[in-house]
Amino acid sequence: TMIVSGGRGECHTLLPEGLTLSSVLKRELEEYGVPRAKIIEEQKGNNTYQQLCELKGIIKERGLRRILIVSSEHHLPRIDAMIHYKEDLAELLNLASLVSAEEVVLKREPHWRAVIDEAYKVEPLRTIIEKEKMGIEQIKNGMYKFRQ
């Protein structure tokens, strides 16, 4: 079973009306051959914290004992910080392992390595990575604004 997570969030200006990040991910997984019945779609979370909170509910509802959280390599450290420093996410500590989406792609299609490496060099992504690092520090210092 796979859980795809994400509402419109910060992508709301990029996505056509009615489309969510999770619906895009679900469609891509189906195109790769994952059966529709094996995909759980979570559309409520519009930011990382909300998605993790929704994930907790799905885990509890389904009685899951172990999960992998797959996200961009540059985003995983902030997810990890949230799980370690936000008390209401602590139960994910023993249930979740974090996996780089880039790692998953490269195992199946190694020819993407050059594209991924180039993407990490462009200014917009470098700016995002710096914001991720600032977010991690804010989480650790108790200054991060978790949006419910």
Mean pLDDT over residues 1-21, rounded? 78
Cα–Cα distance between 101 and 104 in angstroms, integer?
A: 5
pLDDT band of residue 12 (cuts 50, 70, 90) is low
pLDDT band of residue 22 (cuts 50, 70, 90) is confident
One-letter amino acid at 121 equals K
Q: Which residues, in sequence order, are CB contacts of 12 under 8 Å at separation 6+?
A: none
Cα–Cα distance between 148 and 142 in angstroms, integer?
A: 16
> For the whole model, what pTM was predicted?
0.89
Find out whether 98 and 76 touch, Cβ atoms under 8 Å: yes
* HSE of 97, CA atoms in CB hemisphere, 13 A: 5
Query: 76-100 pLDDT, tens per residue?
Result: 999 999 999 999 999 999 999 999 9
User: What is the per-residue pLDDT for 113?
Assistant: 97
